A and B are shown apart, each in its own frame.
Chain A
Amino acid sequence: MTELGTPVPYLAHFGQVTFRLTVHSDNRPTVRSNEAWVTALSPPHDPGALDDLRSELVRGLRIMLASRVPEQAGPLAEDFAQDAMMQILASIGSFRGESRFTTWAHKIAVRIAITELRRKRWKDFSLESLSAPDSHAPRPISKESELPSPETQAVQANTAEIVQQLIVETLTEKQRLALQAVMFQGVPLEEVARRMGTSRNTLYKLLHDARLSLKHALEARNLRPEDLLSDVE
């Protein structure tokens, strides 16, 4: 085995410590059981385990980022791994052992990475840009799709009008805004939640209530979602 001693500035917030990295001949880091990981990453943190975890996270993030932001995958993986390390160490007590420790750690790193990528992608989005739905306005068929037959267009237009009417009549202003942003515009929950001053979980529950209200409103008209689905397929 080869031992290397190198100051690791990316871990400077743990103090100026020289870590000794132990590697196998094929450069794989030490493999640990779940219990060994938790013990090593609980205070006082084992330097070798910290480095192994960071390496593991970087490897995983590079894979994930390669298909999403290929030109920045390397540097971003390092940054996101650092953020993930902080969160993992802070929440080590919440690991329940229902999976491999590294899977749990990768989950946290992936969430951090995707959240930040979404934030960058949607930084110019504002809720004010959403226009209020006009239930009385005509609904032209989108040009992006092949035009169906006139009969189908009529059925689709009728379905659109029903759905539009239900949204306007059934939902609160807040629910309608959230629905527009998330389901019409495809804005990520986290981004909408931040702009509405709430959490992702609360927003999900708001939308869940909205969906339930719409579903009940449909049923009150003796309609089922599957009936409408067949009209638009």
Chain B
Amino acid sequence: MELTPRIIKNIVAALKRTQPNEIDCGDCFDRLERFAEMTLAGKAAGKALPLVQLHLEGCRDCGEEFEALLDVLRGLGGQEQTRSITAT
């Protein structure tokens, strides 16, 4: 398998990012909705949830799902969902 400069760069960048304590995809998934809302609200999501930030930077799959969730939330306009129940 040819190691192109791009692949080498990706591997080395991944090694640079690697920390002894990282969360796995399941733990990231459990926190993703909170991280997404904080991101859209312009809050420091990475500071509040640094392990989620680290995981998303290194896990392409979770990163893709996170971006897709942001697309959904932005597309739906980030409408406030906590109004009181309307009478039916």
Which residue from B12, B22, B33, B75 sits with its C-beta under 8 Å from A99?
B33
Which residue from A30, A145, A214, A233 sits with its C-beta under 8 Å from B86?
A30
By the criterion CB–CB under 8 Å, are A188 and B16 in contact?
A: no
Which residue from A61, A140, A215, A232 sits with its C-beta under 8 Å from B2?
A140
Q: Count CB-based A-B contacts (< 8 Å).
A: 163
Nearest residue, chain B, Cβ from A204: B24
Residues of chain B within 8 A (CB-CB) of A51 are: none
By the criterion CB–CB under 8 Å, are B15 and A214 in contact?
A: yes
By the criterion CB–CB under 8 Å, are A32 and B85 in contact?
A: yes
Which residue from B26, B76, B83 sits with its C-beta under 8 Å from A59?
B76
Please give the number of chain A residues whose Cβ is less than 8 angstroms from any Cβ of chain B in the complex: 70
By the criterion CB–CB under 8 Å, are B9 and A229 in contact?
A: yes
Residues of chain B within 8 A (CB-CB) of A113 are: 68
By the criterion CB–CB under 8 Å, are A225 and B12 in contact?
A: yes
By the criterion CB–CB under 8 Å, are A99 and B82 in contact?
A: no
Q: Mark A96-110, 1 if CB is under 8 A from B, else 0.
A: 001111111011001
Which residue from B8, B18, B59, B68 sits with its C-beta under 8 Å from A232?
B8
By the criterion CB–CB under 8 Å, are B8 and A33 in contact?
A: no
User: What band does the interface of chain B fall in when counting residues whose beta carbon is under 8 Å from A?
Assistant: 35 or more
Within 8 A of A (CB), among B1-27: 1-16, 18, 20, 22, 24-26
> Given A99-B33, A100-B81, A64 and B72 touching (CB < 8 A)?
yes
Within 8 A of B (CB), among A88-147: 98-104, 106-107, 110-111, 113-114, 118, 130-133, 139-142, 144-145
Which residue from B6, B16, B65 sits with its C-beta under 8 Å from A145?
B6
25 contacts between A and B (CB under 8 A): A30-B88, A31-B82, A32-B85, A33-B84, A33-B85, A61-B72, A63-B71, A64-B75, A67-B71, A103-B69, A110-B69, A114-B64, A130-B1, A141-B4, A142-B5, A144-B4, A145-B5, A159-B12, A183-B10, A189-B25, A189-B59, A189-B61, A200-B61, A218-B15, A225-B15
Besides A31-B81, A31-B86, A107-B33, 20 new A-B residue pairs in contact (Cβ under 8 A), listed by A number = A30-B88, A36-B85, A64-B72, A67-B71, A98-B33, A100-B82, A103-B73, A106-B72, A106-B73, A118-B61, A140-B2, A159-B12, A160-B3, A163-B3, A164-B3, A188-B61, A200-B61, A201-B25, A212-B18, A229-B9
Name A residues whose Cβ lies closer than 8 Å to a Cβ of B.
1, 22, 24, 30-34, 36, 48, 59-61, 63-64, 67, 98-104, 106-107, 110-111, 113-114, 118, 130-133, 139-142, 144-145, 156, 159-160, 163-164, 179-180, 183-184, 186, 188-190, 200-201, 204-205, 208, 211-212, 214-215, 218, 224-226, 228-229, 232-233
